[in-house]
Structure 1
């Protein structure tokens, strides 16, 4: 994001620090899932949860060598937890973490937008009533027509943003899905129970079908709703 144009709330959500925090949320949730089915020792998971730290500068430094952001992230976090770091990213492919964490970031952003729409609709409704007797020219085909009131204009905007609120809610639901199904979506290196646990913990739906990635029509829908709201 360009800092001078970004709102602080959105800038914080999409910061490198927060992005890596969400990656770590997914990684630790996966470790807990593995521990629940007896694959990774609980003591190791507890140690990782206690000691894991994120260092954005160190990740950037490692990435200069690895040319891979996920490997750099895993190496950096592993440095902070010691020997148990060998369990981090166990059975996962990069997109398991990237796409599931992206769902968390988009949901967080969407909820911030919902709060703004809610505040805006309240103001629009107040203005519609306050200006209901302020007469202005109506327009049709680009020219003056019968008179209307300014309150009527605000009423139209109010109902439009009520629809936008509903659209945003649906878009958040559409994007709130996770996947931990491996490199081609076949669970060849991961137990499906891990995905089930992670998605339940993070309050995400399990993607019904995935390849290496979550289907991008979900992201397109979310962005399309943003475009409608902005327009």
Structure 2
């Protein structure tokens, strides 16, 4: 993730540490379910829990040789665990781990996103009440129309963010779904009850019918909901950017003590935060288009979606 535009709490979820920690969480959940079903001895499970650990440097070293990230991960785990590692990854294919861990990332990131949307909605409601009697000119086609209030402008935005929050919540629930159904989704090595138990233990949904992967219409809907929410944020930003123009000057973006607006023009007070919102909304709409392209994979799966999802 680009540090300049990443919140630390979000960056941690999608960091290498965050990714591998969730891979390990999935592997351990599967082992625990296997133990409950009598497939792993209690002593072996205890040893796995005690010794399993992520070693980023060692995983990278192994991957350089084997050219496969999940094999590198499980090999590094086996070195940590020892003989009882033979029970780890039992009955799984790589995508069982990858997609189920991705569901955990979506769930955890979704909490932050939902909180952000709700925070914006609450702020808009508060400021709408504050300015409910503040008159301003309404504009249609960019031309003066009839008087309105600044509070009504903000209330319209608040209601839109309420709808976006509801859409986002549905999309997060739909995308936070795992699968433990094997190489082509046939449960050839493990019964469906294992998938349901593992996903329940992890606090996510499960894919009722899968190929080798969780179906990407779920992820397209999630990214689409993000793009919609971002477009609403841009709608707010564009309105405020216009109102901040010198010849309008109905609003101004916060300007801190010591802040500078230009290396050549010290009088400048630019709405740069609002401009960033507009720019980043465009990025998310681009991601939405790519997420739609990721739906049509060959047969039971190819990896044309994989490189895209790693960006």
Relative to the length of structure 2, the TM-score reads 0.73
Deviations 1:112-169 (A, max 9, x none): 0111112111111110011112111111123211011111110011101111111111
> In structure 1, how many angstroms separate the alpha carbons of the residues matched to 2:52 and 2:143?
65
Deviations 1:27-52 (A, max 9, x none): 01111111121122121111111111
Matched residue of 1:4: which SS?
A: helix
Of 134-143 and 48-57, deviating more is: 134-143
Match for residue 191 of structure 1? 191
Q: Please tell me the root mean square deviation across aligned C-alpha atoms, in Å.
A: 1.0
Match for residue 210 of structure 1? 210
Deviations 1:155-210 (A, max 9, x none): 01110111111111111111121110000000112232221210110122221110
2:158 pairs with 1:158: yes
Any unmatched runs of 5+ in structure 2?
Answer: 232-311
> In structure 2, how many angstroms separate the alpha carbons of the residues matched to 1:38 and 1:192?
16
Match for residue 130 of structure 1? 130
CA contact (8 A) 1:55 1:76 kept: yes
| C-alpha displacement of 1:9 | 1.0
Q: Which has the higher contact order (CA 8 A, sep 6+)?
A: 1
CA contact (8 A) 1:179 1:214 kept: yes
Match for residue 144 of structure 1? 144
> In structure 2, how many angstroms separate the alpha carbons of the residues matched to 1:204 and 1:103?
7
Matched residue of 1:139: which SS?
A: strand
Matched residue of 1:138: which SS?
A: strand
2:39 pairs with 1:48: no
Q: Count residues in correspondence.
A: 231
Of 166-175 and 216-225, deviating more is: 166-175
> In structure 1, how many angstroms separate the alpha carbons of the residues matched to 2:37 and 2:8?
41
Match for residue 175 of structure 2? 175
Match for residue 76 of structure 1? 76
Relative to the length of structure 1, the TM-score reads 0.97
> In structure 2, how many angstroms separate the alpha carbons of the residues matched to 1:211 and 1:178?
12
Moved over 3 A (4+): none
> In structure 2, how many angstroms separate the alpha carbons of the residues matched to 1:137 and 1:207?
52
Of 160-169 and 216-225, deviating more is: 160-169
Match for residue 114 of structure 2? 114
Match for residue 25 of structure 1? 25
2:8 pairs with 1:8: yes
> In structure 1, how many angstroms separate the alpha carbons of the residues matched to 2:206 and 2:120?
33
> In structure 1, how many angstroms separate the alpha carbons of the residues matched to 2:58 and 2:34?
28
CA contact (8 A) 1:33 1:193 kept: no
Any unmatched runs of 5+ in structure 1?
Answer: none
Q: Choose 1 or 2 for highest CA Rg.
A: 2
